[in-house]
Amino acid sequence: MKRRTFCTAAVSSLALGSVSLRRAFAGTDSSPDLPAMGYSGKQTILKGSDIDALRASLRGQLLSAGQDGYEAARKVWNGAFDRKPALIARCVGAADVTQAVRFASAHQLLVAVRGGGHSLSGQSVCEGGLMIDLAPMKSIRVDPLARTARLEPGVLLGQFDREAQAFGLATTAGTVSHTGAAGLTLGGGFGRIGRRFGLACDNLTAADLVSADGRFVRASATDNAELLWGLRGGGGNFGIVTSFEYRLHQVTPQMYGGSLVFPYVEPRALLGSFGQFIAGASDQLYTDCAIVPTPDGKRVVVLDVCHSGTQPEAEKELAGLRKIGKPLIDALRPINYVDLQCAGDANYPQGRSYYIKSGFVSGITPAIVDTVTGYLEGAALPGGIILFSHQGGAISRVQPDATAFFHRAAPHSVMMVAWWDDAQDAERSSQWIRSGWQTIEPHTDGFYVNEVSADDSERRIRGTYGTNYPRLAALKRHYDPENLFRMNANIKPG
Ligand SMILES: Cc1cc2nc3c(=O)[nH]c(=O)nc-3n(C[C@H](O)[C@H](O)[C@H](O)COP(=O)(O)OP(=O)(O)OC[C@H]3O[C@@H](n4cnc5c(N)ncnc54)[C@H](O)[C@@H]3O)c2cc1C
């Protein structure tokens, strides 16, 4: 009897077409109409029949609240952004991306694009709109002879590093391995070997993109070269990249690095010595410097070091770094590159709430050291981390207009990071950043678009693209005239 009922249902749904067929097998009813957020900020109602047609057109899942997988899919790295999209399209290929983009365009929906989900400002999830989730798109192909790699947009950095290093190859990737390659590359992409090989986006040689009208566009040196120029630092402004192609470099798996920890005593002298030392560093040396609160209410200075030369070269250069103060912990050692790339992962757990401000600085100068240490002396709380990240080298030898990434000359950026697990601490932690940033920001010039905050002004965002902005705005007009892709360090088409 059961079997007969099933057959009847299946046959009648076959006659009604593939949408109904799917429903029959899934045993679900038609989707109800759904309120959704439009990109203009006004609510719209999506018809259940339109939702069902989109679902039927995808190979991946289309999820709404209450369905299995919806809660996990809407979670992003920064737990401060607890948003509920009306729909989540879990794309498994470029065809799914095209369908999702066309649907969003036709219904003028607010769109969030998720690669690795590590947007500091939570821009990869939206309230009430369509989240286009690329996380299932995870293929990586390395060509060891050509020294190239092709990645889908859901790949995480640790996965990329591991595949490339299997052939003794790598390209610049960020310092926390659970970050996504997609967002990182499109905004720039700093990392431990960036001073030798440039930004991740400098190593991006081609990309496939779905533009706002659902067109599939190839960007390379020979096809739509202007688009490739814009994808190298212009963020996710022009469409959704479904495939990234990179140049790889031969890199020894055995590096020299780890942490060097100093007590936070006489910090002006310590940071001043570090500033002098690091200004003369070779391209093989990368050193981030963080002032970190300890559980007992004190602070330490933690240097995160990677030397990609030979061990004798590393030991020779690092002898100077070891002398800037008396280390509490010296954990510098020969270390496998892939292991080093994930050594700091646990410091930035997923799902915790974070608030971040950052900007480029012209060096670790006495003025910035004085400002940072002065703020920490006066601050009521140990607060969060203040981090000087290391840039320069090959990154600064590229002209500011050679790619969309403008701020090439800055040898460092300064970043304030606060976090909380309990919502009650949100205001206190954010205030620690806001008041500190008031004193630190005047020392900065521009900021990294991948570190944009939800409260950054349009003026500040426009300024960070520098004189590249008009060229980027022209590209935006061409590929996304309605500004469908606006959840990013946004370039306005108008
Ligand atoms: C713990 C941590 C460590 C970090 N370390 C570094 C570092 O060492 N170096 C560095 O340079 N940056 C670093 N960052 C910043 C990082 O580059 C950005 O957060 C970046 O956006 C992360 O990319 P994602 O794909 O994970 O992010 P997502 O949140 O998925 O995406 C961020 C934005 O990128 C765009 N986007 C993503 N995928 C696509 C796509 N396929 N097509 C078009 N647009 C897309 C969208 O606008 C989206 O809002 C770090 C961030 C975190 C949280």
Structure tokens at 41: 């900020």
Q: Which value, to the nearest 10 degrees, does the dihedral of the CA atoms of residues 293, 296, 298, 302 take?
A: -50
Nearest partner of 39 among 210, 165, 212, 162, judged by Cα: 212
Q: Is 429 in the pocket of ligand 1 (CB under 6 A)?
A: no
Query: Which ligand 1 atom lies nearest to the CA of residue 348?
Result: 1
Residue 423: strand, helix, or coil: helix
How far apart are the C-alpha atoms of 187 and 278, rounded to whole Å?
A: 25
Which is it for the CA torsion 239, 240, 242, 246, positive or negative?
Answer: positive
Ligand 1 pocket member 158 (CB < 6 A): no
Residue 486 CB less than 6 A away from ligand 1: no
Residue 120 in contact with ligand 1 by CB distance below 6 A: yes
Q: Is 183 in the pocket of ligand 1 (CB under 6 A)?
A: yes
Single-letter amino acid, residue 4 = R
Does ligand 1 lie within 6 Å of residue 450's CB atom?
A: yes
Question: For the segment 332-367, what is each residue's pLDDT rounded down to a tens digit?
Answer: 999 999 999 999 999 999 999 999 999 999 999 999
Confidence of residue 494 (pLDDT cuts 50, 70, 90): confident
Q: Give the gyration radius of the chain's Cα atoms.
A: 24
DSSP letter string over 147-195? Answer: TEEEE-TT-BHHHHHHHHHTTTEE----SSTTSBHHHHHHH----TTHH
Cα-based distances in Å from 140 to 95, 96, 251, 356, 445: 18, 19, 19, 31, 36
Which ligand 1 atom sits closest to the C-alpha of 120? 19
pLDDT digits (tens, 9 = 90+) for 62-73: 999 999 999 999
- pLDDT value of residue 381: 73
Q: What is the pLDDT of residue 28?
A: 57
**How far apart are the CA of 374 and the centre of ligand 1, in A?**
32
- How many whole angstroms from 135 Cα to the centroid of ligand 1? 12
As a whole number, mean pLDDT of residues 103-114 equals 98
Provide mean pLDDT across the span 373-393.
91
Reported as a single tens digit per residue, the pLDDT across 117-155 is 999 999 999 999 999 999 999 999 999 999 999 999 999
* 179 CA from centroid of ligand 1 (Å): 7
- Which tokens go with 248? 């790889």
Contact predicate 217/208, CB 8 Å:
yes
User: Which is the closest atom of ligand 1 to the Cα of 119?
Assistant: 29
170 close to 249: Cβ distance less than 8 angstroms: yes
Query: How many Å apart are CA 77 and CA 348, to the nearest integer?
Result: 9
Read off the pLDDT band of 27 (50, 70, 90): very low
Q: What is the phi-psi region of residue 146: left when phi exceeds 0, alpha when psi lies from -120 to 50, beta otherwise?
A: alpha
* pLDDT tens column, 238-283: 999 999 999 999 998 999 999 999 999 999 999 999 999 999 999 9
Closest Cα to residue 163, out of 246, 242, 284?
246
Tokens of residue 34, six digits: 């759904």
- C-beta separation of 455 from 447 below 8 A: no
The average pLDDT across 156-183 equals 98
Residue with the nearest Cα to atom 36 of ligand 1?
183
Residue nearest to atom 15 of ligand 1 (CA): 450
Please name the residue that has the structure tokens 């709380």: 381
Distance (Å) from CA 93 to ligand 1 centroid: 20
